[in-house]
A and B are shown apart, each in its own frame.
Chain A
Amino acid sequence: MEAGTPDLIKLEDLDAAAGALTGRKHLLSLLVENRPGVLARIAGLFSRRGFNIDTLAVGPTEDPEISRITLTLDGAVHPIDQVTKQLHKLVNVIKIRDMEPGETIAREMALFKVSAPIESRAEIMQFAEIFRAKIVDVSRRSLTIEVTGSADKVEAFERMIRPHGLIEMVRTGEVAIARSKPDA
């Protein structure tokens, strides 16, 4: 559109785009400066703006000066656009990526301690095999199983195992990386 042309904008054709709820889970990948207090700033921002983090994973990157924070949020509850803009205001936050579900490999790891008496042990081990999970510890009464995969897979495994007596569960929260283009 050129300046000075007589074509006018019809006001009724203007749409307000931002601010809407997307209704799906969002996975935000943040690069932040590796400094004391950065996580506190992010956690504080979320709490004072009333944003609720579903999962959070923090770790080093290939650059020792920079850490990666991966967090998941419910886009049905929070305007993700506003969340990312507020995060961008933090001076220690260098980059934010709202990961596209189709172009992202997301994984988490979970440990399940399951009650496993002799009579059900075989069945539990079979589940583990189906889910390509690993038995990492065993005792007379219980098995400890390590599952790696998408959050959906971990949750599916939990549903299968829970009726057998789930003693304890630990999940890391998802970490994610963008898929490479096939030709790249």
Chain B
Amino acid sequence: MRAADALMEALKAEGVKHIFGIPGGANLPIYDAVHDADITHIQARHEQGAGHMAEGYAKASGRVGVAFATSGPGATNLVTPIADAIMDSVPTVFITGQVRTDLIGTDGFQEADVNGITMPVVKHSFMVQDPRHIPDYVHAAFHIASTGRPGPVLVDVPQDLSRADIEYEPITETPTLAGYKPSTEGNIKQIRLAAKALANATRPVIYAGGGVVNANASEELRELCLADNFPVTCTVMGLGAFPAPHEQWLGMLGMHGTRAANYAMDNADLIVAIGARFDDRITGKLSEFAPRAKFVHIDIDPAEISKNVPAHIPIVGDAKEVLPKFVKEYRASQADRSRLDAWWDRLHDWQKEYPLNYEDSEDSEIKPQRMIHAMFAATEGDAIITSDVGQHQMWCAQYYDFKEPRRWINSGGLGTMGFGLPSAIGAKVACPDETVVCIAGDGSLVMTCQELATAVRHEIPVKVFLMNNGYFGMVRQWQELFWDGRYSSVEMGPSPDWPKLAEAFGVKGMMVDDKNEVEAAMREALETEGPVLLDVHVTKDENCYPMIPAGAAARDMVG
């Protein structure tokens, strides 16, 4: 069998139904094999788009997302999604064409050392040197991408090797890799210790991150939180892991989190971190982070434990396996529920005193926060929302209540502007029966707006709600607050006429600039068949608050 066909067989054996990508010289044999492979190929318009589509697909479904690119520039265009996928632990497999083996190292046409370039940002990578290894590498790639802490795996396939004739035997058993054995179960003694510490805590906080979503452990997280009256907060990656709103829900924490959540961390005596990694956007000034707290840290990646914040009770394992044991041990402790009453009095005070709020306009101007409220209303809180990166992302994280996991898809770690539209396309392909809305920024959307063509070409009815404020809004906010208002290259100037741009791609374009019409416009967009871009003109210079200024402590939030 031709190696490229064996590659497809291996992908099918892994259950792959969709691939996102762009053909080119070095992956011609692979694309020839796509023809007969009974796999739906979504032709993106830029490899970065293909990569983010694979991510959106993976984040929405929990299945491994797959993207193809050719050698050289095709492969280098994948670098951003690969880096994005390592930061947010997205199970993805990237298969790149490489120049012929006799050209490797000669600076051949469209040659780039993609293996070397991506080495710092992959979970693992394979360079095919013997075509007979291709099926093995594909299976190993899926195994590595989807187990342990998920992440991106690259398989680089030289053009001539993908044309080789090899014997293909379907492989059924899980690949064994000498140096790769994630431990998932969690040390029971440590879990016991953690349960006891929690039973003795009077000011506990459960701090959950994207790892809970990745582990499909939201139900287990809920069980733990409800095993007592534990206050719970999530990172921007974890939103939806605990259903919001809820009487135990403090809101998101971190740089643009609620005061209640950040003050809770600041005053806690025990923080239980689950699938979260104490990112600088969470901790603020590290030396002043949660100074009164002891830490239980549950994570599948041992290297995350005590990386930024030393853990008192480290537990290495899969949240899905650890949390039920934790709950069982905790219940056995028969802790006194009323011990948390005084803590809740304080939390309620903060919630009452510092709710998320904004001043609505007196005229018809659309405040960005109001746009999110309208979005929540129009979607009835029941949509997959993907986001670009910036103010709109933070406002959406603050004001859109996510009841379920895999409903909020954004680029948290790398903060990749342009992530929203392609990831929406990927999410819609994965979940065709769900409403998929991309909340976009005008700075972000233009970075990947060519993927509107993909949505049209493949009839993928995503709805793009563009929060258009004419600025790189978050950067403008920082320049205003921390750089004395010396605005430097943050104004978008004569931005595209977005509805016209949409129409040029064959997408229905709409515009709204009246706050009394925004929800109706959104409903119209949602009811319209096919992809729609709704250009929402919002207040130009609104700031996203509250915020922990960079390098400041959580208790010093402003706004």
Q: Which listed residue, A7, A9, A16, A86, touches B295 by the CB 8 Å rule? A: A16
Interface residue count for A (Cβ, 8 Å)? 36
CB contact under 8 A between A8 and B189, given known A3-B332, A90-B179, A91-B180? no
- The interface residues of chain A, by DSSP majority, are classed as loop
B135-184 with Cβ < 8 A to chain A: 144, 177-180
- B303, A1: Cβ atoms closer than 8 Å: no
Chain A residues with CB under 8 A of B332:
3-4
- B306, A8: Cβ atoms closer than 8 Å: no
- A40, B116: Cβ atoms closer than 8 Å: yes
User: CB-nearest residue of chain B relative to A93?
Assistant: B179
Q: Which listed residue, B193, B270, B295, B314, touches A1 by the CB 8 Å rule? A: B193
Question: Does A59 sit at the interface, judged by CB under 8 A?
Answer: no
Question: Does B294 sit at the interface, judged by CB under 8 A?
Answer: yes
* C-alpha gap A78/B303 in the complex (Å): 14
CB contact under 8 A between A36 and B306, given known A3-B332, A15-B312? no
* C-alpha gap A8/B198 in the complex (Å): 9
Chain B residues with CB under 8 A of A141:
none
Question: Does B348 sit at the interface, judged by CB under 8 A?
Answer: no
- B179, A92: Cβ atoms closer than 8 Å: yes
* C-alpha gap A36/B116 in the complex (Å): 11
- B269, A11: Cβ atoms closer than 8 Å: yes
User: CB-nearest residue of chain B relative to A16?
Assistant: B310
- A3, B313: Cβ atoms closer than 8 Å: no
- B119, A40: Cβ atoms closer than 8 Å: yes
- A3, B195: Cβ atoms closer than 8 Å: yes
Q: Which listed residue, B178, B307, B312, touches A16 by the CB 8 Å rule? A: B312
- B192, A1: Cβ atoms closer than 8 Å: yes
- B119, A85: Cβ atoms closer than 8 Å: no
- A94, B120: Cβ atoms closer than 8 Å: no
Chain A residues with CB under 8 A of B334:
4
B296 → chain A closest CB, angstroms: 9
B64 → chain A closest CB, angstroms: 16
- B179, A11: Cβ atoms closer than 8 Å: no
User: CB-nearest residue of chain A relative to B308?
Assistant: A19
Chain A residues with CB under 8 A of B7:
none
Question: Does A81 sit at the interface, judged by CB under 8 A?
Answer: yes
A1-54 with Cβ < 8 A to chain B: 1, 3-4, 7-11, 14-20, 32-33, 36-37, 40-41, 44-45, 48
Q: Which listed residue, B123, B189, B270, B328, touches A11 by the CB 8 Å rule? A: B270
Chain A residues with CB under 8 A of B303:
82, 85-86, 88-89
- B178, A11: Cβ atoms closer than 8 Å: no
User: CB-nearest residue of chain B relative to A8?
Assistant: B200
CB contact under 8 A between A4 and B333, given known A36-B127, A91-B179? yes
- The interface residues of chain B, by DSSP majority, are classed as mixed
Question: Does B311 sit at the interface, judged by CB under 8 A?
Answer: yes
- B119, A41: Cβ atoms closer than 8 Å: yes
- B192, A3: Cβ atoms closer than 8 Å: yes
B177 → chain A closest CB, angstroms: 6
- A18, B306: Cβ atoms closer than 8 Å: yes
Chain B residues with CB under 8 A of A17:
310
User: CB-nearest residue of chain A relative to B179?
Assistant: A94
B302 → chain A closest CB, angstroms: 5
Chain A residues with CB under 8 A of B100:
none
- B302, A3: Cβ atoms closer than 8 Å: no
Q: Which listed residue, B199, B269, B302, touches A8 by the CB 8 Å rule? A: B199
A2 → chain B closest CB, angstroms: 8
- B311, A3: Cβ atoms closer than 8 Å: no
- B310, A9: Cβ atoms closer than 8 Å: no
- B200, A3: Cβ atoms closer than 8 Å: no
- B197, A14: Cβ atoms closer than 8 Å: yes
Chain B residues with CB under 8 A of A92:
179
- A11, B200: Cβ atoms closer than 8 Å: yes
Question: Does B540 sit at the interface, judged by CB under 8 A?
Answer: no
Chain B residues with CB under 8 A of A91:
123-124, 144, 177, 179-180
- B310, A44: Cβ atoms closer than 8 Å: no
Interface string of A73-104 (1 = CB under 8 A from B): 00000000110011011111111000000000
- A9, B197: Cβ atoms closer than 8 Å: yes
Chain B residues with CB under 8 A of A40:
116, 119
- A94, B196: Cβ atoms closer than 8 Å: no
Chain A residues with CB under 8 A of B539:
none
User: CB-nearest residue of chain A relative to B313?
Assistant: A14
User: CB-nearest residue of chain A relative to B120?
Assistant: A48
Question: Does B248 sit at the interface, judged by CB under 8 A?
Answer: no
- A18, B305: Cβ atoms closer than 8 Å: yes
Question: Does B535 sit at the interface, judged by CB under 8 A?
Answer: no
- A18, B310: Cβ atoms closer than 8 Å: yes
CB contact under 8 A between A16 and B195, given known A1-B189, A4-B332, A90-B179? no
- B302, A85: Cβ atoms closer than 8 Å: yes
Chain A residues with CB under 8 A of B124:
90-91
User: CB-nearest residue of chain A relative to B307?
Assistant: A82
CB contact under 8 A between A9 and B302, given known A4-B332, A37-B115, A92-B179? no
CB contact under 8 A between A14 and B312, given known A9-B200, A82-B303? yes
Question: Does B329 sit at the interface, judged by CB under 8 A?
Answer: yes
Question: Does B201 sit at the interface, judged by CB under 8 A?
Answer: yes
B333 → chain A closest CB, angstroms: 7
A7 → chain B closest CB, angstroms: 8
Chain A residues with CB under 8 A of B302:
85, 88
A63 → chain B closest CB, angstroms: 11
* C-alpha gap A91/B193 in the complex (Å): 31
Known: A14-B197, A82-B307, A94-B179. 11 other contacts (CB 8 A): A9-B193, A11-B200, A14-B294, A16-B311, A16-B312, A17-B310, A18-B310, A36-B127, A36-B129, A45-B120, A91-B179
Pairs of residues from A and B, 5 with the lowest C-beta to C-beta distance, nearest first = A16-B310, A85-B303, A18-B306, A4-B332, A8-B200
* Chain A interfacial positions (CB closer than 8 Å to B): 1, 3-4, 7-11, 14-20, 32-33, 36-37, 40-41, 44-45, 48, 81-82, 85-86, 88-95
Would you list 17 pairs from A and B whose C-beta atoms are within 8 A, ordered by A residue?
A4-B332, A7-B196, A8-B200, A9-B193, A9-B200, A11-B201, A11-B270, A14-B197, A15-B312, A17-B310, A18-B305, A32-B179, A37-B115, A48-B120, A91-B123, A91-B124, A91-B180
* Chain B interfacial positions (CB closer than 8 Å to A): 115-116, 119-120, 123-124, 127, 129, 144, 177-180, 189, 192-193, 195-197, 199-201, 269-270, 294-295, 301-303, 305-307, 310-314, 328-329, 332-334
